[in-house]
Structure 1
């Protein structure tokens, strides 16, 4: 299947590097809203511009799928919804060095980076990121459009809400629930439930502020 990668920053290079090992997909181009030179490429693959060029490009090049390679959860979700509205199929990027239980469930459009471990009956939602070397233990759930940072350990039966970001090197103890659209600071130790739309940090993690409702 021919696909495009949405995003042309650092994370897009990681995603493309993962997808090069997947014989079921071929990356046709990168798409990015930032101004780009007409000859720009990433690892030999062209960067073709913003979403305005997509309808013609997709039709001309028989592109059927996509993956969003943007770290910011809100922006990644917006791009994901735009691309699915165009009728393109979300594909996942799962590194061959990741260890994923046969009983785990990985949603479409999700990135599972190198060295990650997803264990028994764990679930990762759509358009999410489980970054390098992270562990999602048994029966835990990572929501849609969430991002688990590098080197994070999520113990068993944890619930991480949609759109939540867990910073690198954090630890989340078992049976903990983290609400939607929250931010866990890097290196935090989460011992208690975290409300939605909040920022927590520290060891143990404590409330730093509440996010403004949109």
Structure 2
């Protein structure tokens, strides 16, 4: 049993104002299982959650409490492949909400990362690879800056877009530096790419960075 947070019950500002004194306790029950097979680098997990009196922010940006139960089913598989210098990391998740108008979720989400990792002159570690993020389309929440909260919306769907990045990482003693080509897919796919409703991803950009660790 969880009491809705203070700011769910009371909020006073120039653009939003509410006092919800009649909110009930949020009751959550979760049951699940996880299997970890280290020999094959495989992880499996699944579960179901039941939420009573779920609190969310509606289309007007105001907190609202759903009467009755809300169920969420999830299943996840993580599979890594390692062979000498080659590495391939994969993760796929399936989610299903019993009321998508209150708690929208992408039905399928996946992440994959493929790379080669080796040493140059026995001192410089190099990792050369590419990764991709993808999820099916859904009515992703809209971020309201005035309340700093995510609220539901049904105007625009987000997803069904592969976010592809290519990178090179270097590690030399206490120094790490990288070069990344971010959102390569924007060059080849319909540029209707959004991370949230009305919040587009950056187009293709080249990123570079350096990090140095100083020992005391």
Same fold (TM over 0.5): no
More strand by share: 2
Larger CA Rg, structure 1 vs 2: 2
TM-score, normalisation: structure 1: 0.26
Structure 2 length-normalised TM: 0.26
User: In proportion to residue count, which structure has more helix?
Assistant: 1
